Structure 1
Amino acid sequence: MERYAAGKTTRRKVAHPLSLNMESKLRLDSLEALGWFDDEDVLDSDNYGACILIDSNTKKKAWFAVKSATPKTVKTLDGWTEFSTFKEAMAQAKKIFDKEVLTGRKNKPKEKKERTKPPVRPCFDRPYIRQGPDYRQGGLISVETFAETFKFRGVEFGNWVTQSERQGFIDATYDAFMDLTRIFGLPPTFASLGGTLGIAFGSRGKGDSVAAHFELDQWLIHLTKTKGVGALAHEFGHALDAYLAKRNKTNSKFLSEEFIYSIKDHRTFLREEARYIRNIKDQTMIPDFMFLMQNIVYKKYNGSLSKISEYSNNAARLDAATKKLYWAEPTELFARAFETWMSDRLIEEGQINEFLVYGTDQTPSSWNAKVSMYPESVEREQIVMAMENWVESLVKPWKILKKD
């Protein structure tokens, strides 16, 4: 307001701060008459309407049906036909608008607008498949035997989990953790990370789309009653990631976050300084973990010239669609890489455990996604190999300590 007042005082021509240009004023005056309030096919950008113009020679004023109006150009709709009132000119403009624009819009097949749904783990509508050693000798495992074998801090069931479902969970999880610890070459107690973890079944659900989750504050893996199949390796990956951060007293809550980070547009980058981490318990595994992180983030690592991997790029695309950081989080990138490695290791040994891990080689459409959230092709091979080398360097000192 001060600028406008100043202009008036100094006789300068200054537009009033609340004034509208001709185009905006045309739409403001005409959109309601075009049916904008009631008809969704009338857009707020439509500029058909009625405009009053002055003949520069005769100074005569008249209304015209126009398509657009600016201080320099006015496009009339019917050859400069004059109207005496706004209502008459507007009626003509609407008649032409309906014929030229609105009819075409209404006849055009409308695309079905569906709410964008985030990718979700495929839900089993059949018994899961397992091929591997018969650890239970065909028998059933009690909760007490389960807890004692793996040394879990506790085993929890939800109120809605029936007795038969509890037995099914215990037997399947027993086989899964026996497979997992065998792949690592470590004793069964590794499943609980030496008594650090607890496990829950169908008792701490977080919504229909969540198959499982790891609770860091409780050090607990939870599998949902209906969608937990195939998610155990992923959640154990989270637990191991957090356990190594705690064990080595890093600044981050997860070891993966100490090595890679994500920014606002969901892209992920390597923390170069992480390679110089010193004086931690598991020092020997640092170079291999750094190499693993490089393969997760980059297609080919070359310092500042490194090219982002498709695995990381796809995660950013998935997050961009939901406008939330999840798939590109360091912890999620690591956990999905971990379950990919576990799946490929089982296949390498001619085994399958769909309760432990499932979905790493499924098509994106089966996850309700357009791109894969798992490593693919050559990148998958490289990440799996890097994970294998890291796991070997991680557990080798642990095995030596056990022997001693």
Structure 2
Amino acid sequence: MTTSIPRIQRQYYRNGPPHRGGADVSFADLVKIFAFNSIHIGRWVTAAEQQLAANLFFDAFCDLQQLLQVPPQVISLNGSLALTFGIGGQPGVCAHYQPQGRILALAKNAGGGSLAHEWFHAFDHYIAGKMFGDNATRNQFSSRCWLQHKTIIPHYFNALLDDAYKKLFLSADGKGSSDFFNHCRSLDAAQNRLYLAMPEEMAARTFEKMLQRQNLKNSFLVSGTLKSKAAELGVYPDDTLCSEVGALWLEYFRLLGQGLRYKANGNSREDG
């Protein structure tokens, strides 16, 4: 009888630069560098597991920062995002994002590879108020608001997100739903559920596949979008759609990072 290795103790592939210089970091370092609102660790997480997790989270968030070309505060969504590791959890659930409290939670033994997906949920929730103002209720995602035809606040950044959602959810002529949306609905119908076709889930799966297709790889940040049973079922968009939507998102974050760095350098221009 073989004993499975706890997921946090597995070897995660990454080819990015040595952000830590080979040294260990702590969760306190993550709070200090990325300005997370708070980080809470489960009582059953051992000191060794906590150290492993801190290093994995740090490398993953640094890689995400590099992939998106943004300053550290974007990763914590301007200090609004809280993290939990090894607290609660449900059987079969690797990770989840909780809009109430803005909490990104990863299970101790099942969270690896899910971080990018859940981070995008957090971004999708955070940006709803920026994109739709008071038209978005407190716990709504921007992707869902968009599908509900809520009024978008005019801004170049919002226009990029608007274009991304058009490609993701609508047919080429804009008069019907996209092939990807229809496929997700058919998969849901076969299971008598509504999950894969939820707009926030479609957006998060597209984001994580877009990240995994980049040259910088980190399997703790994202994995399973290219080769997995789920990928074979088509729960992720095809490469063409992923590239088109991903290009808009990458441009969004690149310009956001550029604007934030401009302001940080002492410039007060508000249109960046």
If the length of structure 1 is used for normalisation, what is the TM-score? 0.59
Other-structure match for 1:222: 105
Q: 1:203 aligns with which of 79, 87, 90?
A: 87
Other-structure match for 2:166: 294
Question: Does the CA-based 8 Å contact 2:8-2:49 persist in structure 1?
Answer: no
Deviation, 1:136, is 0.7
Other-structure match for 2:146: 259
Other-structure match for 1:192: 76
1:161-185 per-position Cα deviation (integer Å, ceiling 9, x unaligned): 1111111111000000011112222
Q: In the alignment, is residue 151 of structure 1 matched against residue 38 of structure 2? A: no
**Aligned in 2, Cα 1:222/1:128: closer, same or farther, shift over 3 Å?**
same
Question: Does the CA-based 8 Å contact 2:8-2:108 persist in structure 1?
Answer: no
Whole-Å Cα distance in 1 between the matches of residues 153 and 227 of structure 2? 40
Q: Secondary structure at the match of 1:389?
A: helix
Deviation, 1:395, is 4.0
Q: Which has the higher helix share?
A: 2
Other-structure match for 2:95: 212
Q: In the alignment, is residue 382 of structure 1 matched against residue 244 of structure 2? A: yes
Question: Does the CA-based 8 Å contact 1:245-1:255 persist in structure 2?
Answer: yes
**Aligned in 2, Cα 1:195/1:125: closer, same or farther, shift over 3 Å?**
closer
Deviation, 1:290, is 1.5
Other-structure match for 2:59: 175
Q: Which has the higher strand share?
A: 1
**Aligned in 2, Cα 1:125/1:361: closer, same or farther, shift over 3 Å?**
farther
Unaligned runs of 5+ in 1: 1-122, 262-270
Whole-Å Cα distance in 1 between the matches of residues 195 and 256 of structure 2? 27
The structure showing larger relative contact order (alpha-carbon pairs under 8 Å, at least 6 residues apart) is 2
Other-structure match for 2:264: 402
Deviation, 1:394, is 4.2
1:362-391 per-position Cα deviation (integer Å, ceiling 9, x unaligned): 24x2x3x86221111322222222322333
Whole-Å Cα distance in 2 between the matches of residues 294 and 227 of structure 1? 33
Other-structure match for 2:4: none
Unaligned runs of 5+ in 2: 1-6, 268-272
Other-structure match for 1:326: 195
1:308-387 matched pairs, under 5 angstroms:
308-345=177-214, 347=215, 351-363=216-228, 365=229, 367=230, 371-387=233-249
Whole-Å Cα distance in 1 between the matches of residues 165 and 107 of structure 2? 30
Letter matched to residue 103 of structure 2: L
**Aligned in 2, Cα 1:157/1:287: closer, same or farther, shift over 3 Å?**
same
Q: 1:139 aligns with which of 7, 10, 23?
A: 23
